[in-house]
Amino acid sequence: QLQLVQSGAEVKKPGASVKVSCKASGYTFTDYYMHWVRQAPGQGLEWMGRINPNSGGTNYAQKFQGRVTMTRDTSISTAYMEVSGLRSDDTAVYYCARQLGAPWGQGTLVTVSS
Amino acid sequence: QSVLTQPPSASGTPGQRVTISCSGSSSNIGSATVNWYQQLPGTAPKLLIYTNNQRPSGVPDRFSGSKSGTSASLAISGLQSEDEAAYYCAAWDDSLNGWVFGGGTKLTVL
């Protein structure tokens, strides 16, 4: 069945980087954009960007340009999202979502704390 | 401050009809289609409405969407306790060259 499975929770120190994975199954990975959305504790949804798994082309939200990198490995149907220079306000649940429709991943909690 | 504006809260009693508004501008809702998402507590968002008024398979017809100019609305009829959730609108923004979300509306079923 259609499914996106994300990597597990991470705890990072300020200034570090984190890389979250999102493994797709049940459909042709290269046929649909993969989006990344984050949600800080008690806050709303924030679009971070998207990757075209076929070409590798990316669009990033202006806020994250230069700090976020989205990649993919088509051989294992997996998308990745890396955030560098982590700050405390990057503490959030990070979601991947196929075409911003369905399915969504289960979310990965990234906690940034010294 | 979200690009799309939603009321922070809404409420209704079981069986009632409630609407949630989403206000944008010519660079987003005015020139693009709108999606709506439902997020139950502790879970990932779920697509409720796409392309302004289309329901994915499995979404009850109690949920409906509409768009006029630079605003959109989500209507829920026959309100049920399990509809208690946060609801978000989203659209592509030509000026920002990216998707934007509303701040979310927390729906309480009294």
Express as a percent the part of chain A with pLDDT over 70.
Answer: 100
pLDDT over 90 (residue A91): yes
Nearest CB among B47, B97, B103 relative to A44 is that of: B103
Enumerate residues 89 to 108 of chain B having a beta carbon within 8 A of any beta carbon in chain A. 90, 96-104
pLDDT at residue A105 greater than cutoff 90: yes
Residue range A34-57: average pLDDT? Answer: 97
CB A18 within 8 A of CB A12: yes
**Which residues of chain B make contact with A44, given a CB cutoff of 8 A?**
2, 86, 88, 101-104
Q: Give me A81's structure tokens.
A: 């999202």
DSSP run (H or E) holding B75: strand B71-76
Q: Which residue of B has its CA nearest to A101?
A: B47
Q: How far apart are CA A16 and CA A91, in angstroms?
A: 12
CB contact under 8 A, A101 and B50: yes
Check CB contact under 8 Å for B90 and A105. Answer: no
Q: Which pLDDT value is given to residue B1?
A: 84
Chain B positions in Cβ-Cβ contact with residue A61 (cut-off 8 Å): 96, 98-99
pLDDT 10s per residue in chain B (110 long)? 899 999 999 999 999 999 999 999 999 999 999 999 999 999 999 999 999 999 999 999 999 999 999 999 999 999 999 999 999 999 999 999 999 999 999 999 99
Alpha-carbon gap, residue A112 to A32, rounded angstroms: 31
What average pLDDT does the segment A13-42 reach?
98
Coil vs helix vs strand at A62: helix
Alpha-carbon distance of B37 to B50, in angstroms, equals: 9
Q: Which residues of A touch B (CB under 8 A)?
A: 35, 37, 44-47, 49-50, 59-62, 95, 97, 100-102, 104-107
Give chain A positions within 8 Å (CB) of B45.
37, 45, 95, 97, 104
- Alpha-carbon distance A10 to A17, whole Å? 10
User: In whole angstroms, what is the distance from residue B84 CA to residue B90 CA?
Assistant: 19
Residue A67 has pLDDT above 90, yes or no: yes
